[in-house]
Amino acid sequence: MSATSQAVMQAFSVYRLGAINCIINKNDPYNAITFYRNMMAMLPMANRPTDIEIKDQCGEEPKMRDDFTEDPDETKYQSEVMHYFRRYSFLIESKIGQYMANEIANRRV
């Protein structure tokens, strides 16, 4: 792997750890989604999922709740946003995996 590819992989790892930290220590899935969005931004345009692909595979991103009376303990809200995060992170990780597999294959040729 080239030095550039290694630097990109290290950046992906840092963002991934940041997302994990947001989920485990802070219980902040919106921040974790932002980390994955930043990972997606580092991919070349040809390797990024389109907005339509994201919407088809992940659905609409849940909006932050602003009405406390709808869901006082935030159980419904948390389950919706975590469900979205699981689908979104899987999509981005699969795109990263495809990108890295292509990079490795191109280096061998």
- Report the pLDDT averaged over residues 45-73: 83
Q: What is the pLDDT of residue 67?
A: 66
Q: What is the pLDDT of residue 26?
A: 80
Mean pLDDT of the chain: 85
Q: Rounded to an integer, what distance in angstroms lies between the CA atom of residue 90 and that of residue 53? A: 13
Q: Rounded to an integer, what distance in angstroms lies between the CA atom of residue 90 and that of residue 108? A: 27
Q: For the segment 1-29, what is each residue's pLDDT rounded down to a tens digit?
A: 566 667 777 888 899 999 999 999 888 88
> Confidence band (pLDDT; 50, 70, 90) for 92?
very high
